[in-house]
Structure 1
């Protein structure tokens, strides 16, 4: 299937929707798939589509790197969004986002964010099998993204470039290369971005992400809330010297600057691509995925392989969100950094999906939520998490009383339909 080159794009977010519509030179936009409702697309997206602007859905919750087979309902929902947006392709991540369940005889835990898979043969077998399942369920080509990592798995058997090369060779999947994530892994894990680019199959690149971050205490956080640093633009130029990227997109998820600043960043991205010699226009013929019979290891993998991967991932996630011991071989300091980052991300997303909570609780919201998160791992989605958080505050009487308690209780009742019971007080013998 021949696709037009995507060109230069920006991540569409409600906070900058009006600005994106007015920006010159925007060829396409990317939307978080889970934040769109097929039957109720925002008017801004409708207008962009009517102008011929391509819209690509970007999934964050499939967990293709997880030990379990991809959830059929999640795949169906992603396919529905592809159809509603008229998208030419769809993207997801090389990551796991949950662990546990029947495969490991342990509770299902949600990370609330993307976690790296180990670059091992077992993990690659699981990832390849899951991607083939997703490819069969989706109506358009799938591209998968390399992620940023704060932690490294012990005993890895491949570099990132080798891992991605084998993944493409075995599945025919396209790649979404995030150059900001390559920079993050350079700072946090000592990995060479140029080496990764030299090893991966650049002809399989569907498009490229560019984003900013921030360094704190020697750790680079892929925040998507800060300007794109020169080091990330340098990696983009290196990539463009190897292949003309079919599309390049600026991601920004928070602390949105004025539109003029976003336009300047887009100009810097175009300049970096041009400096590498890439960015040619014209039709793009994505590589056709090989037939199943031609792909080694495409058959369903052994349950034992999934179980080995599942047990390892469950141990890591339980350590990060439930306070169990750090698995052997992991850096304890980095695991602590990752655990705090997951809790902070969880607090931020809950504040976005339930903005009434920080409004009701005021300055006490963040500390109260982080204390709650330390006691209670997330086992459902963020909306469920918001309700559980409010219910716990009400049960334990930790609302500050007065008007705050009444407002929080009214908010909770409106969404849940029943009153949380107060925890019984223990009487002294």
Structure 2
């Protein structure tokens, strides 16, 4: 496997902030959601960035490498095509499952519309390793996989997160994309220590790092990617940097996009955190153990001052319309150099390639892996059904947390539908969201968000809604233009209601 290059400092490219990203100084690379790209028709913004020498990494969200089924060959081919079209040095995906059911459970396929955690068990690890190997063989560039945030914990787990990731790397040679915001999320939601996870996982396998914002509500941390990066997340980044200089660090933002000045301020704070931690570690190493407390205190105080300065600068920028700047001396250090050079002390060599290990004999047994897939399929389908179809919560799960996750999935689904089909909120007005959440309570997504929008509209029309005749005509016209047929007439609606009533007896 080829070495992963030094990427430097990057930001997640999204269409909503394409112009802002192009205008930001000191951005060495960007990451784009792979499923939102068409290899033959790349967005002009990404083409311009590539022409400027900015690396673009496709970030997949739909493979479901942690699912019981083997990765879909078409999805893998699409990911490979996008990597080649972008000239990317690697591609990334998640250690998660996004769908369940199907042939292994003799039940309909359920779509989560979100990344869900896999159980840290031997069965799940065996399946994940085989899925990762299949993906590695299908992709033209190295693969890195990301740890995810979770609201819920699986009962009967056999490994910690760090142990699970370490065994995955040992068995497959895959690279890691470590999301420090997700480590913080799991600390709040599942009581897991980020430092312990970093101690256990092979940091030399890290391809790059994600940093993102979130918010805490009622003791639950929501990894929103729609809020500023918080101090606890930056502290986890500092913990990671004290162990290794990652090849790249990237700021993620997926919603509620702030002005470019605020994005620039967050990138500056990330650079500061990396630089301060590196300098503190160097000073400690040179002075010996007696300097540890002083160096740590200095780094913490300086990072806090930086965060305060950024907040002040951002507030000033918001009020005056001027770009945010920082007065801290380190913010002006080496302005002529690539920001990526701040990540690595001069004496630290580039990260060596992680050798791909051959799996142990028990992992290569087709029968044992197939049996593990069947067991995993049943567990994942039962959980996903509780989350999206309103079935009973499987034994051993925290029922309250599962309900919180279920509401979060439905809310995200409503938000995405509003973006995919903005006409629906326009037609339904303030009634859109409650109507969709009621619809989604026991109706899983069938085949992606666009199909989901059509199904939602059809459901409303079958129920004779909306009550306003003008809005109902608009919804009927919208549905007809996209579905290619007429909505069910009154007689058909009555028959369907009768069948549904009989089925519910």
Fold similarity call, TM over 0.5: yes
Distance 2:439 2:274 in 1: 45
2:205 match: 204
Contact 1:160–1:196 (Cα < 8 Å) also in 2: yes
Contact 1:316–1:327 (Cα < 8 Å) also in 2: yes
Contact 1:128–1:298 (Cα < 8 Å) also in 2: no
1:224 match: 225
Residue 290 of structure 1, aligned match among 340, 348, 356? 356
The CA deviation at 1:281 is 7.5
2:405 match: 338
Q: Which protein shows a greater Rg?
A: 2
Contact 1:135–1:142 (Cα < 8 Å) also in 2: yes
The CA deviation at 1:269 is 0.6
Distance 1:4 1:106 in 2: 44
Contact 2:67–2:128 (Cα < 8 Å) also in 1: yes
Distance 1:293 1:63 in 2: 21
1:297-316 mapped onto 2 (5 Å cutoff) = 297-298=363-364, 300=366, 301-316=368-383
The alignment partner of 2:363 has SS state of: coil
Residue 395, structure 1, aligned to residue 462, structure 2: yes
Farther off after superposition, 348-357 or 399-408: 399-408
1:347-386 mapped onto 2 (5 Å cutoff) = 347-386=414-453
1:249 match: 250
Residue 46, structure 1, aligned to residue 47, structure 2: yes
Which residues of structure 1 form unaligned runs of 5+? none
Residue 479 of structure 2, aligned match among 403, 412, 423? 412
The CA deviation at 1:265 is 0.4
1:26-37 mapped onto 2 (5 Å cutoff) = 26-37=27-38
Residue 494 of structure 2, aligned match among 405, 424, 428? 424
1:72 match: 73
1:189 match: 190
Contact 1:103–1:310 (Cα < 8 Å) also in 2: yes
Distance 2:92 2:3 in 1: 18
The alignment partner of 2:119 has SS state of: coil
Runs of 4+ in structure 1 displaced over 6 angstroms?
Answer: 293-296
Distance 1:114 1:52 in 2: 32
1:81-160 mapped onto 2 (5 Å cutoff) = 81-160=82-161
Contact 1:178–1:210 (Cα < 8 Å) also in 2: yes
Farther off after superposition, 133-142 or 412-421: 412-421
1:237 match: 238
Distance 1:413 1:374 in 2: 25
1:315-330 mapped onto 2 (5 Å cutoff) = 315-330=382-397
The alignment partner of 2:485 has SS state of: coil
Coordinate RMSD, CA, aligned = 1.7
Q: Hey, which of these two has a bigger chunk of helix by percent?
A: 2
| Matched positions, count | 427
The CA deviation at 1:284 is 3.9
Distance 1:285 1:235 in 2: 20
The CA deviation at 1:2 is 3.9
TM-score, normalised with respect to structure 1: 0.96
Distance 2:418 2:196 in 1: 39
Distance 2:361 2:105 in 1: 29
Deviation string, structure 1 residues 110-149 (Cα, Å, up to 9, x no partner): 1110000000001000000100000000110000000000
Which residues of structure 2 form unaligned runs of 5+? 279-341, 499-505
Distance 2:362 2:345 in 1: 35
Contact 1:121–1:157 (Cα < 8 Å) also in 2: yes
The alignment partner of 2:494 has SS state of: coil
Contact 1:5–1:281 (Cα < 8 Å) also in 2: no
Distance 2:432 2:36 in 1: 24
1:172 match: 173
The CA deviation at 1:299 is 5.7
Contact 1:31–1:57 (Cα < 8 Å) also in 2: yes
Distance 1:294 1:6 in 2: 33
Contact 1:129–1:299 (Cα < 8 Å) also in 2: no
Distance 2:406 2:249 in 1: 31
